[in-house]
Structure 1
């Protein structure tokens, strides 16, 4: 007999979303082939509804899963607008893991990353429980702060320019909780996690862009001012909604959000004659109201009305808010060359990209090796398309801004692994 919670979940699953599971080693850059995945409703973990196996890129096939009606995520509601699934993952030579609460929204694509630890004696099965979405459950409201930190105080501002960091350190609790764990998280992955935790991927693109810009500007303010380190803490930001954003360890990411972050990740919000990124605070606009801050549900309404991202942001933060770009991206071999690389392109940027793809293919053999000749021909195009497909980018064979930086990111990661071997 079905449990009551499982029966409710099944009866309510009238729409559909899609899910792919990516399984890698704990460092997240070695794909695990032939991992076995069992999927069940979180309300009934013993009743398997799907069984999957990963390919040479550590990825499962994309499957369709039931979700609540789309309209539940398009307006404030007391009804949970997403389904929750439990994933049990095993692979030879690795510790098994159970991830509970993977969130599936209707009409959008979710990717659940699973990181497996090498098998060791006396290890117990790892368990990850993904908390409820911030728009559905109640979390502490943001404690108001000044959006611009004073620069006259000695030691307050330590960076001379805005830099997008490669990693940030996330303290998984309130600042003073000494028992909370610190996690090293790639900057882009952090933004994708927070946005997937705090807004719905079913919202208008302009609304998602505006919210992502607010999240990034807030985060870069914490980086630029070294806010917590100047207070004696050894982390960049917390996972507490009272102080910062809700970051959820192990949660799934929505591709609709991921694509937007990849295209905007060097951006932040600024005001005239202010050097630092603005600490753009916000609230949900339903349970909590926040004059002069962005309202998440309000931004969704403006997106429905055709507002652009900057129009949404100025509606809440004022007309003197502007989108700016960081001067530097940390941890990449070379900055974006300034124009797309595609069939017919040639030169040093093409050669560098070809070298990086070949290095990446050592870990991801589905990506074909290419001739390192500085000429963007059909072979390079095919390799780029495969790379884009593996890493959830539009597979058009063009090395655009998001693809360039994703290649750089993965190349740096696999190169570091090679140095340790």
Structure 2
């Protein structure tokens, strides 16, 4: 191996943002990889994450041109924690000069140590594997009578998306309900390389978002009586591999533009942005992934890349509604010197998140953005893979919102409810009968 990549592991309870500390992670090269006998042992901290480690990876040049050897190295990961089922993840993909993020959603077990393990097998990247080519579709689709009985005036960003892990004709394939942003990150990590130019990654993510929101807005599958929004068959939709690792270079861009999509001038629906690899398959009128890479190499902006393939009669639009967020982004960044109810909202949410993430400093809820609030934001950004600016921008606002909802979802009953406050503690002592608690009523 001629280069190095990096990996961070994050462990949560089920599909929440509740971190799992003290989790043992055992990592070793997959069968057939160099250094197969080497093992790395890691343990998660109070934020449920391991330290970032360096791992061997192939030369950077392998991911810059087609017809080169596999551009990533493969590692197998075993996750163990008393009180949870073991988790095996085979084939974690490590690119050179790139930070991989492996999120582990752990399932609670009634036994101290589970005898069975969940297994996730990560499939090859579509540019490096054998996948069916996209079947061409008409771009403009009629809007069917909505299943909800309400016509959506404009596209909205859903909180969750249900993915069918098979073709539309395979009714036995499982469905996965996943957070929308995690889905977009997963697809991009399956479809392109994390080492490509930022403008190329952005252009491809715009296309992935637009295609996905078109499927949802037109109710393409639900209008046909299906119980899902999209499939993971590349013949019909995008690749999606439940539980696979993501990449920092992709994640930060999705967090920044997750609500922006492409549409034709004068049209309401997001453009059905079909694409192909441009190497094994040619697709006139569609974006080619390798073609977008070369345009990025030339310094083209994301919009220039998109208009090169889809024509100049397109615009980038931001959806006004983001479902699942308690409060919408105020329209401007919050930074030192800002004040008002928006700052107070962030302070309240950070303090609630800090109950589960004690590394995040708690702050006074005074509606004034001072240095202590900036420091709390910076620590939050570091934990959740955002640039550590200390500024609450669009991406940070909605990530704080996501995590706040994620750590409070278990107790989201409304009205006057008798509740018990339990101080932030390790899972090892959470059920200790001598643990001090406080009972209160929440109106």
Shorter-chain TM-score range = over 0.9
C-alpha distance in 2 between matches for 1:38 and 1:388: 26
2:37 aligned with 1:47: yes
2:287 aligned with 1:299: no
Provide TM-score, normalisation by structure 1: 0.94
After superposition, the C-alpha distances for 1:300-355 in whole angstroms (9 at most, x for unaligned) are 00111111111100100101011111121111111111111111111000001111
Q: Is the 8 A contact 2:146 2:219 kept in 1?
A: no
After superposition, the C-alpha distances for 1:359-389 in whole angstroms (9 at most, x for unaligned) are 1111111111111110111111111111000
C-alpha distance in 2 between matches for 1:120 and 1:86: 26
Post-superposition offset of 1:67: 0.6
2:115 aligned with 1:127: no
Matches within 5 A, 1:372-387: 372-387=365-380
After superposition, the C-alpha distances for 1:11-62 in whole angstroms (9 at most, x for unaligned) are xx21111000111111231111111111101116973421111100010000
Match of 2:200 among 207, 230, 248: 207
Partner residue, 1:110: 100
C-alpha distance in 2 between matches for 1:137 and 1:260: 25
Match of 2:238 among 235, 245, 248: 245
Post-superposition offset of 1:78: 4.4
Partner residue, 2:188: 195
Partner residue, 1:101: 91
Post-superposition offset of 1:397: 0.8
Partner residue, 2:217: 224
Aligned to 2:379, what secondary structure does the other structure show? helix
Q: Is the 8 A contact 1:15 1:106 kept in 2?
A: yes
Post-superposition offset of 1:271: 0.7
Match of 1:313 among 306, 312, 326: 306
Q: Is the 8 A contact 1:82 1:105 kept in 2?
A: yes
C-alpha distance in 2 between matches for 1:148 and 1:40: 48
Match of 1:15 among 3, 18, 32: 3
Partner residue, 2:16: 28
Q: Is the 8 A contact 2:142 2:218 kept in 1?
A: no
Deviation >6 Å, runs of 4+: none
Q: Is the 8 A contact 2:8 2:49 kept in 1?
A: yes
Q: How many residues matched?
A: 408
Partner residue, 2:80: 90
C-alpha distance in 2 between matches for 1:241 and 1:44: 28
Aligned to 1:331, what secondary structure does the other structure show? coil
Post-superposition offset of 1:179: 1.4
Post-superposition offset of 1:418: 3.0
Q: Is the 8 A contact 2:18 2:406 kept in 1?
A: no
Q: Is the 8 A contact 1:131 1:248 kept in 2?
A: yes
Q: Closer, same or farther in 2 for the Cα pair 1:43/1:28, shift >3 Å?
A: farther
Post-superposition offset of 1:154: 5.1
Matches within 5 A, 1:21-420: 21-43=9-31, 47-120=37-110, 124-151=116-143, 158-419=151-412
Aligned to 2:412, what secondary structure does the other structure show? helix
Report the more deviating stretch, 158-167 or 129-138: 158-167
Q: Closer, same or farther in 2 for the Cα pair 1:177/1:313, shift >3 Å?
A: same
Post-superposition offset of 1:407: 0.5
Task: Please tell me the root mean square deviation across aligned C-alpha atoms, in Å.
Answer: 1.6
Partner residue, 1:9: none
Aligned to 1:141, what secondary structure does the other structure show? coil
C-alpha distance in 2 between matches for 1:154 and 1:384: 44
Q: Is the 8 A contact 1:78 1:136 kept in 2?
A: no
Aligned to 1:405, what secondary structure does the other structure show? helix
Q: Is the 8 A contact 2:214 2:269 kept in 1?
A: yes
Post-superposition offset of 1:176: 2.0
Structure 1 stretches lacking a partner, 5+ long? 1-12
Q: Is the 8 A contact 1:158 1:225 kept in 2?
A: no
Post-superposition offset of 1:417: 1.9
C-alpha distance in 2 between matches for 1:154 and 1:96: 45
Q: Is the 8 A contact 1:158 1:226 kept in 2?
A: no
C-alpha distance in 1 between matches for 2:195 and 2:230: 27
C-alpha distance in 2 between matches for 1:172 and 1:21: 24
Q: Is the 8 A contact 1:158 1:224 kept in 2?
A: no
Aligned to 1:131, what secondary structure does the other structure show? coil
Post-superposition offset of 1:158: 3.9
